[in-house]
Amino acid sequence: MWWLDVALSVACCLWLPFQMMTKHHNRHETMTAAWLLPIVACIVAAASGGVVASVLPDPNHALVTIVTSYVLWGMGLPLALVIMVIYFHRLAIHNLPSQEVIVSVFLPLGPMGQGGYAVLKLGIQASKTFPDTKALHPVAGEVLYVLGWMTAITLWGFGLVWLFFAVASISRNKFPFNMGWWGFTFPIGVFTMSTITIGQELPSAFFRILGTILGISVVLLWVLVAVGTMKNIIYANMFEAPCLRDIEKKACAASRGMQHQDA
């Protein structure tokens, strides 16, 4: 099943961005962090590869899984960072997204949290598997573990920057409940996983306590989103793309403006 996940993740990471380049007419000012979603699939597969490798009885199979996961991580994270640079430029030049899609500002936390967790988990497994399989130099596994931790803590720090931007963005004005709220749980959830794993490896009471606080916040947020989703399903206004609702509002405003001009 994991290899099927790998195939689908690679297809999403490569094909969907290519479709955006060749089929869509994108504008910088309308860009959202949703561009990251196809890319994150490879990072998620890499993280799950670290978990799968930890339970495989055959060290050689675990080695193949770890190496494949590093390749997936290399496909996903650098491309996600490239998109985040473009997205930061869009925010700096064209201001924050509209209130309908403002929740998307949390999405950059996804690659940072999941990417950090993935590379740290792979480093942990590499330190155990590489000596058993005699892959590379005898200390290669330990080196990958240390580099994984350094990379994870660096991505965690970069994630703090985007967490501040996201919280500051949504605190400016009220924003409606819509499908975009579903984007709350994954980014904060994987950032929490990264925090807890870093705390376990240090070990650090600060990271463990912070991870616990973030974990409780994710659970409460999930409950809030679930209740809001059920409520909006009952009123039959849930399954409407936030971006389309924003377009409708702009069209109505433009129509009213033309009517005033005619009058």
Q: Cα separations (Å) of 214 from 189, 207, 222?
A: 8, 10, 12
Does residue 249 carry a pLDDT above 80? Answer: no
Which of 49-58, 106-115, 128-137, 184-193 shows the lowest mean pLDDT across its residues? 128-137
Q: Cα separations (Å) of 125 from 6, 105, 133, 142, 143?
A: 18, 33, 12, 10, 12
Q: Is 25 helix (H, G, I), strand (E, B) or coil?
A: coil
Give the total residue count for the chain: 263
Q: CATH number of the domain at 2-262, please? A: 1.50.10.150
Only one residue has tokens 């993280």, namely 47
Percent share of the chain, pLDDT over 90: 65
118-148 tens-digit pLDDT: 999 999 999 999 998 988 888 999 999 999 9
Query: Hey, what are 18's tokens?
Result: 């290519």
Cβ distance 187 to 110 under 8 Å? yes
The residue ranges of every structural domain in the chain are 2-262
Q: Cα separations (Å) of 53 from 74, 251, 255?
A: 18, 52, 58
> What does DSSP assign to residue 84?
H
Cβ distance 194 to 156 under 8 Å? yes
Distance CA 192, CA 114 (A): 9
Q: Cα separations (Å) of 236 from 167, 178, 182, 230, 259?
A: 29, 12, 17, 10, 31
Write down the pTM of the prediction. 0.87
Work out the mean pLDDT of the chain and round it to a whole number.
89
Closest CA to 186 of 41, 79, 71: 41
170-227 tens-digit pLDDT: 888 787 788 878 888 999 999 999 999 999 998 889 999 999 999 999 999 999 999 9
Cβ distance 192 to 215 under 8 Å? yes
